Amino acid sequence: MFASALVNLYTRDIEAGLRFYRDLLGFVETFRTPTEGVPSHVELALGGFTLGLGTVEAAREVHGVEATPGSPAMVVVVWTEDVDKAYEKLVAAGVPALQPPHNTGNNNRNALLRDPDGNLVEIVAKVS
């Protein structure tokens, strides 16, 4: 009945979202529309996970909803090999940080940041 799924984040600035998810976190762009100019929707993949970015304008025009990016109702979790190193790289690139790397139990080390729209992004690694 259902074939696949993805998480779609609405964004106020899709180009900033692409720089964050594609250029800083290493997601690979797999789809965009329109193909010319500034897109209204882009899909990106990382390790079998698909993340969509859609503009707030597209949410309004296509679905008739007013999207509110940055509300902390969810978090995008991205696994890495070294949280401290990844955190330093992201903060140096100007990514807003909420919590520096810290051990959280279950042999995990986590840090919490925000994407360009204020959505929560958690980076996590297993502690060796």
User: Which residue do the tokens 């008739």 mark?
Assistant: 64
Instruction: Round the average pLDDT of the chain to a whole number and report it.
Output: 93
Tell me what pLDDT residue 12 has.
Answer: 95
Task: Please write the tens of the pLDDT for every residue from 84-122.
Answer: 999 999 999 999 999 999 999 889 999 999 999 999 999
Distance CA 51, CA 104 (A): 25
- Please say if the pLDDT value at position 72 is more than 80: no
Beta partners for residue 49, in sequence order: 46
Using CA atoms, how far residue 54 sits from 3, 32, 37, in Å, is 21, 10, 14
Q: Please indicate whether the domains covering 1-69 and 70-128 agree at the CATH topology level.
A: yes
Assign domain 1-69 to its CATH architecture.
Roll (3.10)
Annotation: CATH topology of 70-128 = 2,3-Dihydroxybiphenyl 1,2-Dioxygenase; domain 1 (3.10.180)
- List, for residues 4-13, the tens digit of each pLDDT value: 889 999 999 9
Rounded-to-integer distance, Cα 51 and Cα 7, Å: 5
Q: What is the pTM of this model?
A: 0.88
